[in-house]
Amino acid sequence: MKTIGIIGAMREEITPLLDFFKKYEEIKIGGNSFYTTTYKNYNIVIAYSKIGKIHAALTCSTIALHFHADYIIFTGVAGGLSSDLKVGDIVLASSLCQYDVDISAFGHPLGFIPESKLYIDTDSNLNEIAKKAAIKQNIKLKYGIIASGDSFISSATKKQWIIDKFNACAVEMEGASIAVVSSLLNIPFCIIRAISDSADDNADISFDEFLVDSAKRSAAFIISILDEIQ
């Protein structure tokens, strides 16, 4: 049986999944809990990484190397950057970048790390499966670049800077690290985010208000993707 790893950054982002599966085993590794179960013809490993790129990279690496994941899916919430995104909308990442990497003093573009890429593409096959699931559920997906960094964006000025520099449609704190780990280990991956706030000066208020509902929307969409994977 193949294994699908599902990661969220916060407990609220995986709780709807655990509620759906109901029966699972908890395994503790590296200060984190991994919940294993089966669904149809797949082994499922679910974890919340804790917030930030370092925690997400560790969790993703553990799922990849310890549980031997064949696919990795990230679910959770994000701040909307595009003007056409509203709270509750779902974004499927075409690629990920790190807006807070800056070695431009050495002539490199913002976000670029030597021997890596500025933008890391998600898996086209998983993305097509997600798009198919969205059509069946009458969900209008936003498809575009998601920017990651170790800051919660709650400033209209910073929001516009990320748009201008990276052409991103959403911003969060983990996706790019999932992209780096998965791509280096040659594991197909996709990143799905439900919008919880507008990443502006009112972001902290709307985030708290809409976190749980947006996380539930993202998790429900993950289940529909699992149903489509052959």
User: Distance (Å, rounded) from C-alpha 60 to C-alpha 175?
Assistant: 10
Catalytic annotation, pick one of 12, 123, 197, 200: 197
User: 13 catalytic, yes or no?
Assistant: yes
User: 197 catalytic, yes or no?
Assistant: yes
C-beta separation of 9 from 1 below 8 A: no
Catalytic annotation, pick one of 13, 123, 172, 200: 13
C-beta separation of 199 from 151 below 8 A: no
**Could you list the active site residues?**
13, 197
